[in-house]
Amino acid sequence: MGSTSAQNNGEGFGRRDLIKRSAALGLVAVPTMSFLSACASSDSGSGNKAKKGKTSAKNPLGVNETAPLAVTIFDGGFGTKYATDANAQYKKAFPKAKIQFHATQKIQSELQPKFNGGTPPDLIDNSGAEQMDMGVLVGKKQLTDLTPLLDSASFDDPSKKVRDTLRPGIVEMGQFDGDPVWIMYYAYTVYGVWYSQKALDGLDAQYPENWDDMLALCAKAKKKGIAGWTYAGKYPYYLPFSLYPFIAKIGGREVLDKIDNLEPGAWQDPAVKSAFEAYYELYKKGYILKGTPGIDHIQSQTAWAKGKALFIPNGSWVENESASVIPKDFGLSVGAPSGLDSSDKMPFGTIWASGGEPFIVPAKANNAEGGMEQLRIMLSEESSKNFTSSVKSLTAFNGGTDGIELTPGLKSGVAALEKAGDNVVNPRLQDWYVKLQKEQIGVSVLGEMMAGRLTPAEAIKKAQGYADAAAKDSSIKHYKHQ
């Protein structure tokens, strides 16, 4: 989940291959379209599909108990232990099944020939810098519909379906064109404005709930030599983590839906104008850390962790990613975006939270039921707790935190989700239109505006132009909210 330069030279991908932003955010270096089309070309399949087994209370998906299971996991910041632990559970349930487990960072290059030859694995964690383009895979009918998994009995409670145990937005994120669910996002990320409670206490301040209070706090910090904000200037598509839910808070979630749908004039909505002008004010008043437009995500997070700036737009991976630079007494916290004023359509607490780590079962999988069963195991309370306690991230399973000592950032994220309730937004632009979101809106619009090289009016005009061009481009598959 980089600017063109990041794609060309790999800058910023080494440390964890942007794992948590993989598909949910579309922040990956994306191979060319022809390469992706080749990857997802139609094929005749190997014809060795495992016969379905008998369904039962313990085997609701009808897994063939002797069929081998092939699993390929992206080996990034989450590691692979959570997956091998789930494999062990599968083996316990189906002792006669042989499991072929493979971990790699080269998802695209290793799996392309297997897709072409009709011999893909049964379950893939399609993540990291070499992630396969989901829109292409869906458009070419290369994936298995996961609805049977969602409608099967949950691992822990047979009276509940798997879909009833998931966090908000997870099912919808796996949909591209209506009802089928093609992807199961396993991790769950909270996006927002990250800060140090200790730093706010030092300023005798509360987290600001409206923009006047935000500006007043930035002014107070500036007097003490502390910047209000910093962000990943080289990769300014981090800005939407707080900007998009801010737009929704001001004008309602339908404004983001119109943007996702590439509707004419969507970027000219008054809520977008208000949000852009508010952020531009941070630049105009000198509340952004000097040099921010020239630094990357790691440099901005480090400056923020060292107390040079109060706020940074980011995702909950920041806790793990910046663990070596965040002081022990930092009081890591996440805030929902400050609102504009009392006329906002949505309440304070409105936040963006959504899935990461996209798991897919290929259409040509020999053991599709086994691939789905492995996901059913991973969506149990035990597997979820195992993941959360080891990698400091929530999962798609709505729970799995009881009895675990939560780290400060994770604790704050859980509290933010509780406060949000139903007011969780999930923009899809970064899933559906990767280039538009990253290179165009992210870098050429928001990056330029926040560096002072575009006014809000110019930025809006440019954003609308890019969106209109994408809407008219017949080489792009278009998706819409149903």
Radius of gyration of the chain (CA): 22
Largest interatomic CA distance in the chain: 71
* 286 backbone φψ class: left, alpha, beta (φ>0; ψ -120 to 50): left
Which pLDDT belongs to residue 135? 78
- SS3 assignment, position 220: helix
With a threshold of 0.75, does the pTM exceed it? yes
Which pLDDT belongs to residue 199? 98
Query: Over its length of 482 residues, how does the chain's per-residue pLDDT go in tens digits?
Result: 333 233 233 333 232 333 333 333 333 333 333 333 334 333 333 457 889 999 999 999 999 999 999 999 998 778 899 999 999 999 999 999 999 999 998 999 999 889 888 999 999 999 877 888 887 888 889 999 999 999 999 999 999 999 999 998 899 899 887 779 999 999 999 999 999 999 999 999 999 999 999 999 999 999 999 999 999 999 999 999 999 999 999 999 999 999 999 999 999 999 999 999 999 999 999 999 999 999 999 999 999 999 999 999 999 888 888 999 999 999 999 999 999 999 999 999 999 999 989 999 999 999 999 999 999 999 999 999 999 988 888 999 998 888 888 999 999 999 999 999 999 999 999 888 888 998 999 999 999 999 999 999 999 999 999 999 999 999 888 988 87
List domains and CATH numbers for the chain.
Answer: 4-189+354-422 (3.40.190.10), 192-352+430-472 (3.40.190.10)
Which pLDDT belongs to residue 435? 87
What DSSP string describes 235-255? SGGGTHHHHHHHHHHHH-HHH
DSSP symbol at 397: B
Amino acid letter for position 482: Q
Element at 413 (helix H, strand E): helix 408-420
